[in-house]
Amino acid sequence: MRIEEHPVLNFERGEKVSFFFNGQEVEAYPTETIAAALHALGVRKLGESPELHRPRGLFCAIGNCSSCFMTVDDEPNMRVCVIKVKPGMRVEEQHGKGVICL
Partner 1 sequence: MLINDGIPTKDDLDKIYPSPERLAKGPVAIVECFQEIPCNPCIKACKQGAITMPRDINDLPLVDVELCNGCGLCISRCPGLAIFVVDKTYSEDMALVKLPFEYVPIPKAGQYAVALDRAGQDLGWCEVKKVISGGKKNMTYTISLAVPQEKAMEVRNIRVGGYKDGN
Partner 2 sequence: MNQVEIMVIGGGPAGLCAALAASSLGAKVLIAERDDIAGGQLVKQTHKFFGSEKQYAGDRGIQIGQMLLDNAQADPNIEIWTDSTVLGIYEDGIVTVEHEGAHAKIKPERIIIATGAAEKFLSFPGNDLPGIYGAGAVQTLMNVAGVKPAQSVLMVGAGNIGLIVSYQLKQAGVEVSAVIEGLPTIGGYLVHASKIQRAGIPVLTRHTILEAYGDGKVEGAVIAEINEKWQPIPGTEQKIPCDAICLAVGLSPLTELAWQAGCEMAYIRELSGHVPIVDDYLETTRPGIYCAGDVSGIEEASSAMVEGRLAGISAAASLGFGKEQVEELQKAAMSELDELRAGPMGAHIRLGLEKVAAKGGSKICS
Least distance from C-beta 8 to partner 1, angstroms?
5
Q: Which is nearer to partner 1, 5 or 12 (by Cβ)?
A: 5
Q: Going by C-beta distance under 8 Å and a sequence separation of 6 or more, which residues neighbour residue 45?
A: 55, 56, 57, 93
With CB under 8 A as the contact rule, which of the stretches 6-14, 44-52, 80-88, 92-100 interacts with partner 1?
Answer: 6-14
> In residues, how long is the chain?
102
Q: Which of 19, 21, 46, 71 binds partner 2 (CB under 8 A)?
A: 46
CB 45 within 8 A of CB 91: no
Q: Going by C-beta distance under 8 Å and a sequence separation of 6 or more, which residues neighbour residue 2?
A: 11, 13, 40
Is residue 1 classed as helix, strand or coil in its secondary structure? coil
Q: Which of 1, 6, 42, 51 binds partner 1 (CB under 8 A)?
A: 6
Residues that bind partner 2 (CB under 8 A): 1-3, 6-9, 11, 13, 31-33, 36, 39-40, 44-46, 49, 54-65, 81-82, 84
